[in-house]
Amino acid sequence: MKRMIYDGDPGIDDALAIILAIKSGEFDLEAVTTVAGNVSLEKATKNALRILRLTGRLNIPVAAGIPSPFGRGLERAEYVHGDNGLGGTSLPLPGVEDKCIGALDLIIAKIMKKPGEITLVACGPLTNLAEIYMKEPRIGENVRELIIMGGAVQVPGNVTPHAEFNIYTDPESAQIILRSDLPLTIVPLDVTMKTIFTVYDLEQIYEVRTPVAEFAYNALRYYQNIPKHKKLGGCPLHDPLAVGVAIDESFVKTKELYVNVVTDNIITLGKTLVGEKNTGELEVCASKHKVCLEVDARRFIRFFIDTITAD
Ligand code: RIB
Ligand code: CA
């Protein structure tokens, strides 16, 4: 069984990504760690606990990470995910609390204990990951793979015309990770914005009467109906696709590129820069990373629906 740690900021699409990881049966989900992003760290952590209770997996440890981006204020996204971060759905909190051990020490301990076995999927700002990498640089040779949802390569950003939310929220932490020699796969808006979950897809979830499918239906209906998604005719499955890539990389086609991020220009802050040679703004990059540029979107959405609605 492959092993995964999910680090994110639940958030509707994070919640669906965690459910996908669990219900796929492809991974032993070793831990869910949280970071401030879509909502505050406290809300994100409570939402992670709610999702693990919903899926009957409270045996999976939840640990909170860092409460604010590196050297910046937190610009949250309740305008996308709702005030409670889960589209107004009301999932009960379990009696248990998140672990007293912080996310950073939990992730380091688990990866170093099982070298080469754990895939770390990061779908929020990269604040936790940057701290982990600085605290324990050997993570790079012990993690099996690091998959991040973030960035916008050949498409516009979703929080400014240049920048994607996870990278924009903490560009300094993103720069530490993107410049590193970590074994990174990047799942940017270039592919996630093609995985548009439509009202017709939603009807296929409506017919299924399980607690998980009902949560997914209500959260996706909220997510589809925010103004910027209504214009798209559906909602992008950003974080579920990152988990999908961990499950089956054939959903995407990747290209090896050097990647950096703008941190010193107020207009293009958080813009991801890519290139085939580490020259100019890319000369500080230690290694190329796999960047997803094409996706078999309908096959992934079919997989997502079938997995979420399975008994
Ligand atoms: O830009 C989309 C990403 O930002 C997703 O991970 C979403 O959950 C938010 O974190
Ligand atoms: Ca997220």
Residue ranges and CATH numbers for the domains of the chain are 2-308 (3.90.245.10)
How much distance in Å is there from the Cα of 232 to the middle of ligand 1?
A: 16
How much distance in Å is there from the Cα of 52 to the middle of ligand 1?
A: 20
Identify which ligand lies nearest to the alpha carbon of 34: 2
pLDDT in tens, 213-245: 999 999 999 999 999 999 999 999 999 999 999
Mean pLDDT, the chain, whole residue set: 95
Which ligand 1 atom lies nearest to the CA of residue 11? 8
Which ligand 1 atom lies nearest to the CA of residue 189? 1
Q: Which residues of 149-185 are buried (b: 16+ CB within 10 A; e: fewer)?
A: bbbbbeeebbbbebbbbbbbbbbebbbbbbbbebbbb
Residue 94: the pLDDT is 85
Residue 164 phi, psi dihedral angles, 5° rounding: -90, 150
Q: Above 70 in pLDDT, residue 265?
A: yes
Contact residues of ligand 1, CB 6 A cut-off: 9, 11, 13-14, 37-38, 123-124, 149, 158, 164-166, 238-239
Contact present, 62 and 101 (Cβ < 8 Å): no
Residue 253: the pLDDT is 98
By annotation, the residues acting in catalysis are: 238
Identify which ligand lies nearest to the alpha carbon of 169: 1
Q: Above 90 in pLDDT, residue 246?
A: yes
Which ligand 1 atom lies nearest to the CA of residue 9? 10
Residues with CB in 5 Å of ion ligand 2: 8-9, 11, 14, 123-124, 239
pLDDT in tens, 136-191: 999 999 999 999 999 999 999 999 999 999 999 999 999 999 999 999 999 999 99
**Pocket probe mutation, ligand 1, options 148, 165, 223, 272, max atoms within 8 Å of Cβ:** 165
Tokens linked to 87: 């589209």
Q: How far is CA 61 from CA 6, 20, 229, in A?
A: 11, 17, 33
How much distance in Å is there from the Cα of 59 to the middle of ligand 1?
A: 26
Which ligand 1 atom lies nearest to the CA of residue 239? 6
Q: Above 90 in pLDDT, residue 71?
A: no
* Burial (0-12, 13-18, 19+ Cβ within 10 Å), 1: exposed
Residue 43: the pLDDT is 95
Residue 99: the pLDDT is 66
How much distance in Å is there from the Cα of 279 to the middle of ligand 2?
A: 31
pLDDT in tens, 85-139: 999 898 988 877 766 679 999 999 999 999 999 999 999 999 999 999 999 999 9
Residue with CA closest to ligand 1 atom 10? 124
3-class DSSP assignment, residue 138: coil
